[in-house]
Amino acid sequence: KQLTIGLIPADGIGREVIPAARQVLEALPSSVLAARLGFVELDAGFEYFQKHGEALPEETLAALRSDCDGALFGAVSSPSHKVAGYSSPIVGLRKKLDLYANVRPVVSGAAATASGARRAIDMLIIRENTECLYVKDEEQHEGPDGRYAVAKRRISERASRRAGEMAFAMALQRDGMRRLVGDADRTWKGRPKVTIVHKSNVLSVTDGLWRETVRGVHASNAAYHAGVDVEEQLVDSMVYRMFREPDAFDVVVAPNMYGDIISDGAAALVGSLGLVPSANVGDNFVVGEPVHGSAPDIAGRNIANPIAAIRSAAMLLERTGHAAAALAIYRAVDCVLAAGNVRTPDLGGSSRTSEVADEVCKHL
């Protein structure tokens, strides 16, 4: 069996953490990964745009569609001022490949405790990944009082339903896992729960549709209905509560933009953005992507934390049917974090990106 992975480092530290993740994938013993690995290096990003006039070349999309079983994306830089014709390649990728849910597990562990976080967190954020303000349907106008601009925020029943289904399914799956490995290992110990984030006190139509649809998923499926609790949280209170009671959440499902903000906030609670992975998931494809950005301030210095990218690679394996290999990576990362002697500067250490990758490989 063959597993071909597209690698899209894109900008900044993406070019350091994606090779690190590749190194870990290649180090997997054949006893845990029952597939022959292949890699395809692909272009995208702001730097690529500056040279070639496009941020997400058609060839990259074609190669992903025809040659790859999944992909890993690094990070993109944001232009520091408006640039005509530029559009974020990761946002494009999500839409073009219909990767409708962005799955972001935020789990504290040894590293979080070391960096001073007070309460444990074990939360899975499901971020709707194709619409909301990310449809990028914007126009600028000239009015009597000067210029004004309008962006459209789109929320559909279909996208909300798909995100909701993912959330409830994951809540049951996490619960199954807890039963399997035992409660002691997990922070969240209650019944499976899905928290629906919205702001329907202001956006009664769009967020009203979102909330009603996600609730509808719960109500119409007996397994969800009987087995999973559901609660709602306004997005502003969500950010507040997440910091006051990080251990009060299991699965959290949110429209695209709220999900973006919440996941960065949650990352602050586990000690570093450099630890938090994600998977952009569709019915037929998955793109692993660290939650962090391209970090131009530290790019090129071999000090970026590769763990988010390495964990994203594990999520990719998990979603393509290689659960044992995924688990081997998660465990190796946990060992390295628990040992604590090999850490990049964001976690208070002085190790290099490559040293962390080497260390993870040793523990596979």
List interacting residues with ligand IPM (CB under 6 A). 76, 88, 90-91, 201-202, 236, 260, 291
Measured CA to CA, the distance from residue 28 to residue 31 in angstroms comes to 8
- Which of ligand IPM, a copy of itself, none does residue 244 bind (CB under 5 to 8 Å by kind)? a copy of itself
Q: Is 206 in the site for a copy of itself (CB under 8 A)?
A: yes
Alpha carbon 3 to its chain's center: 21
**Residue 105, CA distances (Å) to 153, 171, 351 in order:** 26, 12, 25
The footprint of a copy of itself on residues 105-124 (CB under 8 A) is 116, 118
- At residue 261, what is the residue type? I
| C-alpha neighbours within 13 Å on the C-beta side of residue 215 | 11
Q: Are 315 and 135 in contact (CB under 8 A)?
A: no
Nearer to ligand IPM, 78 or 350 (CB): 78
Nearer to ligand IPM, 281 or 325 (CB): 281
Applying CB under 8 A, which of residues 49, 73, 134, 188 lies at the interface with a copy of itself? 134
**DSSP structure string for 191-250:** S-EEEEEE-TTT-TTHHHHHHHHHHHHHHH-HHHHHH-EEEEEEHHHHHHHHHH-GGG-S
Residue that the structure tokens 């692909």 belong to = 42
The nearest distance, CB 121 to ligand IPM, in angstroms, is: 18
Applying CB under 8 A, which of residues 29, 51, 58, 82 lies at the interface with a copy of itself? 82
**Residue 222, CA distances (Å) to 5, 167, 211, 253 in order:** 37, 15, 19, 19
The nearest distance, CB 324 to ligand IPM, in angstroms, is: 28
The nearest distance, CB 286 to ligand IPM, in angstroms, is: 15
The nearest distance, CB 292 to a copy of itself, in angstroms, is: 9
**DSSP structure string for 105-122:** EEE--HHHHHTT--S--E
- Which of a copy of itself, ligand IPM, none does residue 314 bind (CB under 5 to 8 Å by kind)? none
Q: Are 356 and 337 in contact (CB under 8 A)?
A: no
- Which of ligand IPM, a copy of itself, none does residue 148 bind (CB under 5 to 8 Å by kind)? a copy of itself
Residues serving a catalytic function are 134, 199, 236, 260, 264
Residue that the structure tokens 């139509």 belong to = 205
The footprint of a copy of itself on residues 141-180 (CB under 8 A) is 143, 145-158, 161
- Which of a copy of itself, ligand IPM, none does residue 54 bind (CB under 5 to 8 Å by kind)? none
The nearest distance, CB 36 to ligand IPM, in angstroms, is: 30
Nearer to a copy of itself, 116 or 182 (CB): 116
Q: Is 54 in the site for a copy of itself (CB under 8 A)?
A: no
The footprint of a copy of itself on residues 234-293 (CB under 8 A) is 234-237, 239-240, 242-244, 257-258, 260-261, 263-265, 267-269, 273, 293
The nearest distance, CB 202 to ligand IPM, in angstroms, is: 5
- Give Dmax (Cα) for the chain: 70
DSSP 11: S
The nearest distance, CB 201 to ligand IPM, in angstroms, is: 5
Measured CA to CA, the distance from residue 53 to residue 245 in angstroms comes to 46
Q: Are 211 and 202 in contact (CB under 8 A)?
A: no
Instruction: From 125, 124, 127, 148, select the one nearest 138 (Cα to Cα).
Output: 148
Nearer to ligand IPM, 212 or 264 (CB): 264
Question: Which residues contact a copy of itself by CB under 8 A?
Answer: 76, 78-79, 82, 86-88, 91, 116, 118, 133-134, 136, 138-140, 143, 145-158, 161, 199-206, 208-209, 212, 234-237, 239-240, 242-244, 257-258, 260-261, 263-265, 267-269, 273, 293
